[in-house]
Structure 1
């Protein structure tokens, strides 16, 4: 029989992580939309302005562009991994673990990458409250996703 004691913890973390990943993806989508609407405008001669960067974001600092892109990817992959984790929580057997664990580990890796860029953005300063919210969520998600991975590995028997 599988370790049923960790199932409520894994379920709670799954719901929490899903909600937080959706919020991160939503804020990242807003930041990307804001950048597209208020970024560089290419002139009629199709000449790029001086110091053009494809990841230019008019808010934040030099790390904001990379941070938003990787946070958006981490948010979408994390939400998808949480949806995939529902199958494992419902079955809670060893046979359903590999798909849930592999998607959770990939989401955690992308979250750690985005968290590293969040730390760089914090170090450089000069960002707005939405970016600060996304930074905080990614730092929290890096821990809760890891605890979720540990919890779903609580399935110790091969039933």
Structure 2
């Protein structure tokens, strides 16, 4: 592909990924807020319940706490990698590629980790529609983030400044 073709593919994937990471952050923030507000109630004497867990979520199942926590981490790192990716798309040189590629790879690995917890949550049983939406977005992001990393590594599409 020509230089402009890979750049346009990468910019489309970058915009798509940023929007999906923002949606994951919104839904994950809602789930975390709900867990904080409606989780365990600490008594007036500050005594914790007998089976207290800091990763307890009132919706979903036993894997929901891990899933939401790592989805939020993946969302924050993914949004940050999109910001670095915008800088790379603006310059599109070999000098800006390493930072964009490493940020994208870290976001992709955290997305895969969150997707693994999503698979565990699916296997464990019932969950609400918001959690199912987050699972779907993470599944899609695990592929599109990889395609974005491949697009910015396009062979012959990056010029060396010299």
Q: Secondary structure, in 3 states, of the residue corresponding to 2:141?
A: helix
Q: Secondary structure, in 3 states, of the residue corresponding to 1:47?
A: coil
1:121 and 1:19 map into 2 onto residues whose CA distance is 24
TM-score (norm 2): 0.94
Equivalence for 1:142: 142
Equivalence for 2:3: 3
Runs of 4+ aligned residues of structure 1 deviating over 4 Å after TM superposition are none
Q: 5 Å matches for 1:8-23? A: 8-23=8-23
Equivalence for 1:111: 111
Post-superposition CA distance 1:28-57 (Å, at most 9, x none): 000000001101011123221121111000
2:45 and 2:5 map into 1 onto residues whose CA distance is 66
User: Aligned pair 1:158/2:138, yes or no?
Assistant: no
Which 5+ residue runs of structure 1 have no aligned equivalent? none
Which 5+ residue runs of structure 2 have no aligned equivalent? none
